[in-house]
Amino acid sequence: MLLCYGDAMRRLMLIFSELGLLNGEYVVVALETLPASCEAGDSRDEEACRAFEGIIDVSQYIPDSQAYEDFTTSVYNRMPEMNYSMNAPNEASVPIL
Protein backbone atom coordinates (compact mmCIF):
# COMPACT_ATOMS: atom_id res chain seq x y z
CA MET A 1 0.00 0.00 0.00
CA LEU A 2 1.30 3.42 -0.92
CA LEU A 3 0.59 6.54 1.05
CA CYS A 4 2.13 9.57 -0.61
CA TYR A 5 1.23 12.81 -2.34
CA GLY A 6 0.31 13.00 -6.02
CA ASP A 7 3.73 13.97 -7.39
CA ALA A 8 5.51 11.20 -5.47
CA MET A 9 2.82 8.71 -6.52
CA ARG A 10 3.27 9.71 -10.14
CA ARG A 11 7.05 9.24 -9.95
CA LEU A 12 6.61 5.83 -8.29
CA MET A 13 4.07 4.67 -10.85
CA LEU A 14 6.37 5.69 -13.71
CA ILE A 15 9.23 3.77 -12.09
CA PHE A 16 6.97 0.73 -11.58
CA SER A 17 6.03 0.97 -15.28
CA GLU A 18 9.67 1.20 -16.36
CA LEU A 19 10.51 -1.86 -14.25
CA GLY A 20 7.63 -3.85 -15.74
CA LEU A 21 5.87 -4.17 -12.39
CA LEU A 22 2.45 -3.16 -13.75
CA ASN A 23 1.91 -6.35 -15.74
CA GLY A 24 -0.71 -7.77 -13.36
CA GLU A 25 1.72 -9.77 -11.23
CA TYR A 26 1.82 -7.08 -8.54
CA VAL A 27 -0.92 -4.97 -7.01
CA VAL A 28 -0.56 -1.27 -6.22
CA VAL A 29 -2.94 -0.12 -3.50
CA ALA A 30 -3.13 3.59 -2.72
CA LEU A 31 -5.16 5.82 -0.44
CA GLU A 32 -7.20 8.71 -1.83
CA THR A 33 -5.42 9.11 -5.16
CA LEU A 34 -6.71 12.19 -6.96
CA PRO A 35 -7.63 11.59 -10.60
CA ALA A 36 -5.42 14.39 -11.93
CA SER A 37 -2.35 13.14 -10.01
CA CYS A 38 -1.07 11.44 -13.15
CA GLU A 39 -0.78 14.74 -15.00
CA ALA A 40 2.20 17.04 -14.62
CA GLY A 41 2.00 18.82 -17.96
CA ASP A 42 5.02 17.06 -19.42
CA SER A 43 5.73 14.50 -22.13
CA ARG A 44 5.10 11.57 -19.77
CA ASP A 45 1.49 12.40 -18.87
CA GLU A 46 0.02 9.74 -21.16
CA GLU A 47 2.35 7.04 -19.81
CA ALA A 48 1.69 8.10 -16.21
CA CYS A 49 -2.09 8.09 -16.68
CA ARG A 50 -1.89 4.58 -18.18
CA ALA A 51 0.12 3.48 -15.14
CA PHE A 52 -2.52 4.95 -12.82
CA GLU A 53 -5.21 2.77 -14.43
CA GLY A 54 -3.86 -0.22 -12.49
CA ILE A 55 -4.09 1.35 -9.04
CA ILE A 56 -6.59 -0.01 -6.55
CA ASP A 57 -7.61 3.19 -4.84
CA VAL A 58 -9.04 3.01 -1.33
CA SER A 59 -11.04 6.10 -0.53
CA GLN A 60 -13.71 7.14 1.90
CA TYR A 61 -17.26 6.86 0.64
CA ILE A 62 -19.69 9.37 2.08
CA PRO A 63 -23.27 8.72 1.00
CA ASP A 64 -25.19 11.60 -0.51
CA SER A 65 -28.63 10.85 0.88
CA GLN A 66 -31.07 12.32 3.34
CA ALA A 67 -30.97 9.10 5.39
CA TYR A 68 -27.22 9.53 5.91
CA GLU A 69 -27.65 13.21 6.81
CA ASP A 70 -30.33 12.28 9.34
CA PHE A 71 -28.10 9.57 10.83
CA THR A 72 -25.16 12.00 11.14
CA THR A 73 -27.33 14.62 12.83
CA SER A 74 -28.70 11.99 15.22
CA VAL A 75 -25.19 10.90 16.21
CA TYR A 76 -24.10 14.47 16.92
CA ASN A 77 -27.29 15.14 18.91
CA ARG A 78 -26.67 12.08 21.11
CA MET A 79 -22.97 12.79 21.78
CA PRO A 80 -23.56 14.94 24.90
CA GLU A 81 -25.55 12.07 26.46
CA MET A 82 -22.37 9.99 26.27
CA ASN A 83 -20.05 12.77 27.49
CA TYR A 84 -18.63 13.47 24.05
CA SER A 85 -18.47 16.86 22.46
CA MET A 86 -17.77 17.84 18.90
CA ASN A 87 -19.03 20.49 16.52
CA ALA A 88 -22.10 19.55 14.54
CA PRO A 89 -21.35 18.53 10.93
CA ASN A 90 -22.41 21.88 9.53
CA GLU A 91 -20.19 23.66 12.08
CA ALA A 92 -17.11 21.48 11.67
CA SER A 93 -14.18 22.84 9.74
CA VAL A 94 -12.51 20.21 7.59
CA PRO A 95 -9.37 21.17 5.69
CA ILE A 96 -9.39 20.24 2.02
CA LEU A 97 -6.02 18.98 0.87
93 domain-assigned: yes
Considering the domain architecture, whether residues 40 and 83 belong to the same structural domain is answered as: no
| pLDDT tens, position by position, 72-96 | 888 888 888 888 776 665 555 555 5
Q: What is the pLDDT of residue 92?
A: 52
| pLDDT tens, position by position, 52-69 | 988 888 888 889 999 998
Q: What is the pTM of this model?
A: 0.61
- Non-local (6+) Cβ contacts of 24 within 8 A are 54
**Average confidence score pLDDT of the chain:** 84
Residue-range definition of the domain harbouring residue 34: 6-58
Residues 66 and 93 sit within 8 Å (Cβ to Cβ):
no
With CA atoms as reference, report the closest residue to 39 among 14, 17, 64: 14
Considering the domain architecture, whether residues 21 and 50 belong to the same structural domain is answered as: yes
- Non-local (6+) Cβ contacts of 17 within 8 A are 47, 50, 51
Considering the domain architecture, whether residues 10 and 53 belong to the same structural domain is answered as: yes
